[in-house]
Chain A
Amino acid sequence: MKIIISATLRSFFGRRDEIEIKGNTIKDILTGLTDEYPESAKGLYDEDGSLRPFIRIFVNGEDRTGKSSHEEGIPEDAEILLLPLIAGGAPEDERKSIISDERRKAVALDDKEIERYEKHLLLRDIGVKGQKRIKAARVVVIGAGALGSPVIQYLAAAGVGTIKVVDFDMVAISNLGSQVIHGTRDIKRPKAASAKDTIKNINRDTEVIAENIKVDAQTIISVIEGFDLVIDCTDNYKTRYLINDACVLLGIPLVFGAIYQYEGQVSVLAKDKGPCLRCLFPSPPPPGIVPTCAEGGTISPLGGIIGSIQANEALKLIIGIGETLSGKLLSVDTLGLRSNIVKVKRNCSCPVCGDKPAITEVVDFDYEDFCGLKEDDGELPVEGLASEELARRIERKEPLTIVDVREPYERAIRRFPDALVIPIGQLVRRQKELNPEIDTVFICKEGKRSILAINTLREAGYKGVMYNLKGGLDAMRDIIFSNEAGGL
């Protein structure tokens, strides 16, 4: 029998347009086709062995794809066609808002609000319905720093009904370079309170909950429970994984953002069985390898760029429009002005959102250990030296080698006098420059990379006495040497 194959399906059959098969039922034909073209089996059948949804078999103009007629005889002169079923649909699920219609209907916009949100109401896809959803929304922003600044301000300006700001920190002068939600007058005030004032200044109608607490396994659930959306604006891995896990467990979508030097990343996690942070990054890098924002620095507008994208994603989720970053990771490089999106799939063996999750409660999981923040029992502990003690030993002119393991650009900010400069990558090669008879102190900015330095040297076989400057140079700031601040 002659089978005529539509051009759309010829790639399964070596681009043949007609194939002769012996037999007189559809079953014979299908078996014959896969016998002759074994490769075509994958094209014709899915994993369960049923015909793929786009395959149709027509005999004399009649659809005979249904299995019930596969055994029926076919006349010798019949026209047998293998045709495609072309079908599809507009995205529906993605358009669903995270705010239900009932909650939307429960709020109303007054005249003042209609005037205030005019620019949103002019957009057909937002309109009154979308603006009501924004008003009904309850959002938690964790971290009121560089990322939190634009996120909080744009959400308030856009009319989000309830915003909870969580941050344990105080405003410091070094924050003002990028954290535009705070001003000079806010220095030494809690960031959460300062952010609340800014929100109230933008939009008096916003209900603000300012929480001046540290997010940990004990507090996270009560921080986010009952909210529609969480926005992660934190700067460390431990908190990021903690927030991620809590969001997955409570089923609250999460807008993730991170910045480092000139680059940033955004993703929407834990949304409708989409991937989570652990699917994206199964584990954090070892401590000391990647400096945090506080150590590595960021260019001032970077938080504004990434945070604004986070706020935009949040509004898209609330309104239910567009293509969100769920299942995708956006990376932005502001130096080359390039961005790209990679697809991320849910990992079915993910410990928190996989098919058989191992983590069912955040309090059971050891985040300190997971992020390598605990001292390893197998490793010899690193002897620490307090900043006061180091100052005393320098003043007494005790024999001491001080090794500065920071990068050249960091030293340009604050030089440590009389220190031997060996960036961490050169340590092993240059260990001969150290005298094992003399006590050696390792210094860096925060006292974390110096631990890595000591462990690296120990592994390389260095036998001398090594100390770590606790808290790094940041802890040395307030030490004043008797000889005119010692050049610090």
Chain B
Amino acid sequence: MDEKVIRIDRLSIFGMKTHASLQYPDECCGLMFGQRTKNKTVKIQECVPLNNMEDSLQSKRHFTVSPMSVWSVEKAAGKRGLEIIGIYHSHPDTGAYLSKEDEEKMIPGQIYAVVSVGNEGCREIRMWEKASVDAGIVEHRYEGAL
């Protein structure tokens, strides 16, 4: 797969980081919206926090989002011309990389952003994508844009 150029709005980065810090030490998760343009550029313009359905025992290490809430957020964003680009979630006290569980449950074609977060705040954000069911997972580079 060709490498994509991801341009992410600075407010969205801020939103993801804030969400991850507020939720710490639990995992947070949310959706990223924006636009896919033809020249392989992906713009991320909005981040929408979602509730982690896992109970308090599980929420430090796992996250699950109710499919119906994904649908309602996706519908509302669609009306404003925004397309779903992918999913972000946090890794409290661990690095920004995909866990085995993340890899297994990855939806092809969606960009997965992982925010590494600790007591001191956010450490790093990295993004990956599995282009299709058979494809390998590729890390994408991204740049902040206002």
Contact surface of A with B, Cβ cutoff 8 Å: 6-9, 11, 42-43, 53-54, 56, 58, 61, 63, 81, 83-95, 124-125, 322-323
Q: Are A11 and B108 in contact (CB under 8 A)?
A: yes
The 8 A CB mask of B71-113 against A (1 = contact, 0 = none) is 1001000100001100101111111011111101111111010
A478 to B60 CA separation, bound complex (whole angstroms): 68
B27 CB–A CB distance under 8 Å: yes
A403 to B67 CA separation, bound complex (whole angstroms): 76
Question: Which residues on A sit within 8 Å (CB–CB) of B107?
Answer: 8-9, 54, 84, 86
Q: Are B118 and A322 in contact (CB under 8 A)?
A: no
A42 to B105 CA separation, bound complex (whole angstroms): 15
Q: Which 3 A-B pairs have the closest CB atoms?
A: A83-B67, A91-B99, A89-B101
Q: Are B105 and A87 in contact (CB under 8 A)?
A: yes
B residues 24-66 touching A (CB-CB < 8 Å): 27, 29, 31, 50, 60-65
Q: Are B78 and A7 in contact (CB under 8 A)?
A: yes
B80 to chain A minimum Cβ distance, whole angstroms, is 13
Closest to A17 in B: B78
Question: Which residues on B sit within 8 Å (CB–CB) of A93?
Answer: 99-100
A173 to B5 CA separation, bound complex (whole angstroms): 53
B134 CB–A CB distance under 8 Å: yes
Choose one: B63, B68, B83, B97; the contact of A87 (CB below 8 Å).
Answer: B63
Question: Which residues on B sit within 8 Å (CB–CB) of A8?
Answer: 70, 74, 84, 107, 109-110
Closest to B87 in A: A86
Question: Which residues on A sit within 8 Å (CB–CB) of B18?
Answer: none
Q: Are A87 and B65 in contact (CB under 8 A)?
A: yes
A91 to B91 CA separation, bound complex (whole angstroms): 8
Choose one: B61, B74, B110; the contact of A90 (CB below 8 Å).
Answer: B61
A230 to B118 CA separation, bound complex (whole angstroms): 31
B133 CB–A CB distance under 8 Å: yes
Q: Are A88 and B71 in contact (CB under 8 A)?
A: no
Q: Are B84 and A91 in contact (CB under 8 A)?
A: no
Closest to B31 in A: A86
Q: What are 28 A-to-B residue pairs whose CB atoms are below 8 Å?
A: A6-B71, A6-B74, A6-B84, A7-B83, A8-B74, A8-B107, A8-B109, A9-B107, A42-B134, A53-B104, A56-B67, A58-B67, A81-B71, A84-B70, A86-B31, A86-B63, A87-B62, A87-B63, A88-B102, A89-B27, A89-B62, A90-B62, A91-B98, A93-B100, A94-B99, A95-B94, A124-B118, A125-B93
B105 to chain A minimum Cβ distance, whole angstroms, is 5
A436 to chain B minimum Cβ distance, whole angstroms, is 55
Q: A-side binding surface: helix, strand, loop or mixed?
A: mixed
Question: Which residues on B sit within 8 Å (CB–CB) of A43?
Answer: 108, 132-133
Q: Are A88 and B105 in contact (CB under 8 A)?
A: yes
Q: Are B74 and A92 in contact (CB under 8 A)?
A: no
Q: How many inter-chain residue pairs (CB < 8 Å) link A and B?
A: 114
Given the known A-B contacts A8-B107, A92-B99, are A86 and B70 also in contact in the complex, defined by CB atoms under 8 Å? Answer: yes
Beyond the given pairs A84-B70, A87-B65, A88-B112, 16 more chain A to chain B contacts, judged by CB atoms under 8 angstroms and listed by A's residue number, are A8-B84, A11-B109, A58-B71, A81-B67, A85-B65, A85-B105, A86-B65, A86-B70, A87-B62, A87-B105, A88-B101, A88-B102, A91-B91, A91-B100, A94-B99, A95-B94
A35 to B104 CA separation, bound complex (whole angstroms): 26
Choose one: A7, A58, A125; the contact of B68 (CB below 8 Å).
Answer: A58
Q: Are A42 and B63 in contact (CB under 8 A)?
A: no
Question: Which residues on B sit within 8 Å (CB–CB) of A92?
Answer: 61, 99
B138 to chain A minimum Cβ distance, whole angstroms, is 11
Q: Are B61 and A322 in contact (CB under 8 A)?
A: no
Question: Which residues on B sit within 8 Å (CB–CB) of A95?
Answer: 94
Q: Are A83 and B64 in contact (CB under 8 A)?
A: no
Q: Are A86 and B64 in contact (CB under 8 A)?
A: yes
A278 to chain B minimum Cβ distance, whole angstroms, is 22
Question: Which residues on B sit within 8 Å (CB–CB) of A323?
Answer: 95, 97
Question: Which residues on B sit within 8 Å (CB–CB) of A322?
Answer: 95
Choose one: B31, B89, B118, B132; the contact of A88 (CB below 8 Å).
Answer: B89
A85 to B132 CA separation, bound complex (whole angstroms): 17
Given the known A-B contacts A6-B71, A8-B110, A83-B70, are A88 and B97 also in contact in the complex, defined by CB atoms under 8 Å? Answer: no
A327 to B78 CA separation, bound complex (whole angstroms): 40
A86 to B107 CA separation, bound complex (whole angstroms): 8
A164 to chain B minimum Cβ distance, whole angstroms, is 31
A93 to B99 CA separation, bound complex (whole angstroms): 9
Closest to A87 in B: B64
Question: Which residues on A sit within 8 Å (CB–CB) of B74?
Answer: 6-8
A78 to B29 CA separation, bound complex (whole angstroms): 30
Choose one: A56, A88, A124; the contact of B63 (CB below 8 Å).
Answer: A88
A452 to chain B minimum Cβ distance, whole angstroms, is 38
